[in-house]
Structure 1
Amino acid sequence: MTVNTHDSLDDIRRNVTRIDNTLLALLAERRTLSLEVAKSKISTAKPVRDQVREQALLLRLIDTGKEHQLDPQYVTQIFHTIIEDSVLYQQAYLQRLVNPENALPTARVSFLGAKGSYSHLASRNYFSRKQTQLVEISCSSFRDIINEVETGHADYGVLPIENTSSGSINEVYDLLQHTSLSIVGEITQPIEHCLLTAVDTQLEQIDTLYSHPQPHQQCSEFLHGMGKINQQYCSSTADAMLTVAELKQPNVAAIGNASSGEIYGLTPIKTNIANQQQNFTRFIVVARKPVTVTSLIPAKTTLIMSTAQAAGSLVECLLVLRNAKINMTKLESRPVIGNPWEEMFYVDVEINLKDPLMQQVLDDLTRLTRFIKVLGCYPSENVTPTEVDFND
């Protein structure tokens, strides 16, 4: 399309809006077609992802993009997002078919903090993919989140389990030892920490910071560079932002998300303050009943086990997984409360619980361990981008 240099700015903006609306309509049409693809795969029992076809698709789109003077990286970035959405949309549809009792138009969801907390953002993002409206239940602790679900006041609970910068969230792992809830889903949420203030101020004036302990830890290098800072801990980033909004002082700030800060009238004075620029938190979704995961989509199974207190006991268990060629994505140890020097091991593996191979592995592990329990089997929502060589 050629832009008339004599067009006014308003005319140009109207054209941009028209194109944006057309793009949205086409994306919606593409989503509908992806659903038809999912339906066709049911009869053929083909998996949702076909990365060979995805690679061929991306290479063709790169060539087409070059004809329109579009950079290959720009094209792949856009279509990686579109493909991810298509995969997750198909997975959600197939899961509704095998778990019809969970296909509710409205769900009660408990999470940490008030509106604007990272747990709140993760909850909304996760259930938006399921086309589910939320009744939101704010909680002040991880224990409260679990209690709300255990008592039936909430249908689901959303809990952060690990962060790429600060590592595992031990309190959540400890709570999973003693709950009857099942893990039914996961979502990885990008964490974009900013320094937020309620009044116009300078970074040098800040001497007090409010946030949840995790963001303090995830931004430790930046905070060290600020010198002597009074770090105040809150139950969530949302509570920290609310506190700073109420104080309205030039020397206080909160660590949180910039878009969430807008809810409380806060503005960022410093962005990208996390130790790692690629900062993500993985959240799990828990419910009172487990879900069935269709064999057409990738699944994860999470289990906990306690081994005998003898040399090589854990190694023997891990060899069972290796010999079965099952990929382990997480191994975390936590002390067993009340049993000094005894450890409980949390294991994430990339396999469906219903798979006969996994059933055999569970039998083998049961013979080798003092205690073993499956915490849940759930769809894997980590859609790894298909790689392409721009130089081909």
Structure 2
Amino acid sequence: MITTVAIQGVKGSFHHIVSQQYFDDSVKLVECLTFDRVVDALITKESDAAIMALENSIAGSIIPNYALIDKYDLHVVGEHYLDIQHNLMALPNQDIESIKEVFSHPMALLQCKEFFKNHPHIKLVEDKDTAEVAERIQKHKLKGVGAIASVMAAEVFDLDIMAKSIQTIKHNETRFAIVKRTNSEIPESEMTKASIKFETDHKRGSLAAILNVMSDCKLNLTKIQSLPIIETPWKYAFFVDVTFENYTDFKKAKSIMSIMGESFKVLGEYKNAKI
């Protein structure tokens, strides 16, 4: 049973929202300002599970998180998609002309840059976490300072929302991984998605051969991401997500790919949340 979950950010963050939607309100949060700290909380058993953002529909993959899951032999046991709505907020009784600086996570700033072109007097400053900025504004009563965060953050920290849904692309989703120290607890019959990692040599067609195995075994490739292998210049590891209707198809592909791919590894087997 999950009683504690580590998240990147504080109460009111998007990771906090995911914890409530995936688990429930009763789980205790271990608030972490970095993903390295999230992983540390998990491997030291300070938390039972962790939530880690993996990719955003606008900004793309959060590559370091793939590397963290791999490096510490963690297991993806589930996933959750969250509609990300960014809101500009500040202390009450101010208007947008009185806001001189807006602090937020770099990805949030990137996703809202078109909005701020219409407000050139506002200085944008990168920070560690969306909701943590909202907390700081409330704690220190910072006037003239705004945050970009969730509606929940505004509610938790008693801030006024000056502008809603300010992200450039209105349909904005982030995919989060539910991570644990051990492999999935659901039966094979319920598994419809897997995350794997492998390396290939520099022979012509080596990657194509593995992709052909996936196709021949009725796997649907939903994600492929390369990551440089630091110890070996110009060699790459591939992080791949596949979906399937029958676990036996994946099991067959897994047995073949483990022979064909170097350092083949299953990062997680779980239920596909995007159907």
TM over 0.5, yes or no?
yes
Alignment of 1:1-392 (within 5 A): 104=1, 106-128=2-24, 133-227=26-120, 229-297=122-190, 299-351=192-244, 355-382=247-274, 384=275
Residues paired across the two proteins, number = 275
**Cα distance, 1:248 vs structure 2:** 3.5
Higher strand content, 1 or 2: 2
Work out which structure has the larger RCO, using CA pairs closer than 8 Å and 6 or more positions apart in sequence. 2
3-state DSSP of counterpart to 2:152: helix
Aligned residue for 1:70? none
1:237/1:256 contact within 8 Å kept? yes
- In the aligned structure 2, how far is the partner of 1:381 from the partner of 1:298? 11
1:160/1:284 contact within 8 Å kept? yes
2:85/2:150 contact within 8 Å kept? yes
Identity of paired residues, percent? 28
Which one-letter code corresponds to 2:272 in the other structure?
S
Which one-letter code corresponds to 2:5 in the other structure?
V
- In the aligned structure 1, how far is the partner of 2:122 from the partner of 2:203? 46
3-state DSSP of counterpart to 2:29: strand
3-state DSSP of counterpart to 2:230: coil
1:199/1:249 contact within 8 Å kept? no
- In the aligned structure 1, how far is the partner of 2:167 from the partner of 2:29? 28
Which one-letter code corresponds to 2:4 in the other structure?
R
Which one-letter code corresponds to 2:172 in the other structure?
N
Which one-letter code corresponds to 1:244 in the other structure?
I
**Cα distance, 1:299 vs structure 2:** 1.9
- In the aligned structure 2, how far is the partner of 1:312 from the partner of 1:221? 42
3-state DSSP of counterpart to 2:3: strand
Aligned alpha-carbon RMSD (Å):
1.9
2:51/2:178 contact within 8 Å kept? yes
**Cα distance, 1:205 vs structure 2:** 3.1
**Cα distance, 1:201 vs structure 2:** 2.3
3-state DSSP of counterpart to 2:225: strand
Structure 2 unaligned segments of length 5 or more: list them: none
